[in-house]
Amino acid sequence: MSQKNQTLGEFIIENQAEFKYSSGELSRLINSIRLAAKVVNHEVNKAGLVDIIGAAGDVNAQGEDQQKLDVYANNKFIQTMTKRNIVCGIASEEEDDFISINSQDEQNQNKYVVLIDPLDGSSNIDVNVSVGTIFSIYRRITPVGTPVTIEDFLQKGDEQVGAGYIIYGTSTMLVYTTGHGVNGFTLNPAIGTFYLSHPEMHFPETGTIYSVNEGNYIHFPQGVKDYIKYCQQEEGDRPYTSRYIGSLVSDFHRNMIKGGIYMYPQSSKYPQGKLRLLYECNPMAFLAEQANGAASDGFGRVMEIEPKELHQRVPLFCGSSKMVQMVENFMSSSV
């Protein structure tokens, strides 16, 4: 039984048995993410002190400027999982292609692939606003001991065996699920240990916060415009409060605790939406559903979408289940 003040290490060991393919491998994987999270946290927290902020000059797979910390976090997570021989493949928002680990080594019996957004909300780094890391875990579908292929990564969100995020905020938290609810752990920076601080996290069924970049309003589909107007009308518990950090992890985290909806719809600028299905939407959708919330592309469950490519983008409406349902109602009645 989980209990507050348990360490993440203790929690992982105690809950290993409830994982259906229990082999210790997933536990080792979560442990390696925990380790990389601490290292990245240390770096994020000194971003204002050293010359590490600002664009690194590279352009990522989506044509966006990379910040130095994006590169740092990307390298740290990949290194940690690669050097410890934890997984058989990694795909990252910051890499054009997936990485196959020990593909020549027939002894490599690792079964899991990880997809990662190493630093989410990176435009917030320069201004001391919280950022995050998002990860998503699948069992490979190609045979163990062979090099991974694109099919191992292009699995539906419903196939995830684990997902989570790290939020580098006023305190640093690791929040994750392996399909048995969502638990949140807060880092005690003085001793470098994560403690269970938020057991069994749940979205309230409905809420009064909506989070969307309203600067894009005129480019949104009619259903989203109608929903935003609904949020602003005076009736019952409305008007709702608008809160948008511009960091999916942080907006999601707040909404999960307080009740609310996060939206990144399609627009004329981003006809498919901006967020990436595999690195952002699916892991957050898994967490949302495990926390009694919902995640939709406006018409149906995000986790049922059949991925076609690694860096695919989809619209995302995610949060308290009744609010997501309401957006879907507005979307379907406007087409």
Sites of contact with ligand AHG (CB under 6 A): 93, 117, 120-122, 213, 246-248, 274
260-264 and 209-211 as β-strands: parallel, antiparallel, unpaired?
parallel
Residue ranges binding Mn ion (CB under 5 A): 93, 117, 119-120
Q: How far is the CB of 246 from Mn ion (least distance, A)?
A: 10
Residue nearest to Mn ion (CB): 120
Minimum CB–partner distance for residue 278 and ligand AHG (Å)? 12
Q: Say which entry of Mn ion, ligand AHG, none residue 247 contacts (CB below 5 to 8 A, set by partner kind).
A: ligand AHG
312 C-beta neighbours (distance < 10 Å), count: 18
Minimum Å gap between C-beta 270 and ligand AHG is 8
* Binding partner of 172, given Mn ion, ligand AHG, none, CB within 5-8 angstroms per partner class: none
CA–CA distance, 239 with 251 (Å, rounded to integer): 19
Q: Which tokens belong to 109?
A: 């019996």
Q: Are 75 and 58 in contact (CB under 8 A)?
A: no
Distance CA 117, CA 98 (A): 13
The minimum distance between CB 282 and Mn ion, in angstroms, equals 13
Task: Report the distance separating Cα 300 and Cα 276, nearest Å.
Answer: 16
Residue 199's binding partner among Mn ion, ligand AHG, none (Cβ under 5 to 8 angstroms by kind) is none
Query: What, of ligand AHG, Mn ion, none, does residue 274 touch, CB below 5 to 8 Å by kind?
Result: ligand AHG
Closer residue to Mn ion in complex, CB, 10/64? 64
H or E stretch at 159: none
Nearer to ligand AHG, 183 or 250 (CB): 250
Q: Report what 328 binds from Mn ion, ligand AHG, none; CB cut-off 5-8 Å by kind.
A: none
Helix (H, G, I), strand (E, B) or coil at 188: strand
Closest approach, Cβ 67 to ligand AHG, in A, equals 8
Per partner kind, with CB cut-offs from 5 to 8 A, the member of ligand AHG, Mn ion, none near residue 321 is: none
Closest distance of CB 204 from Mn ion, Å: 25
Q: How far apart are CA 99 and CA 101, in angstroms?
A: 6
Token representation of residue 34: 């925990």
Our CA dihedral for 81, 45, 197, 322, rounded to 10 degrees, sits at -90
- Residue (121 or 184) nearer to ligand AHG, CB: 121
Rounded to whole angstroms, the Cα distance separating 145 from 143 reads 6
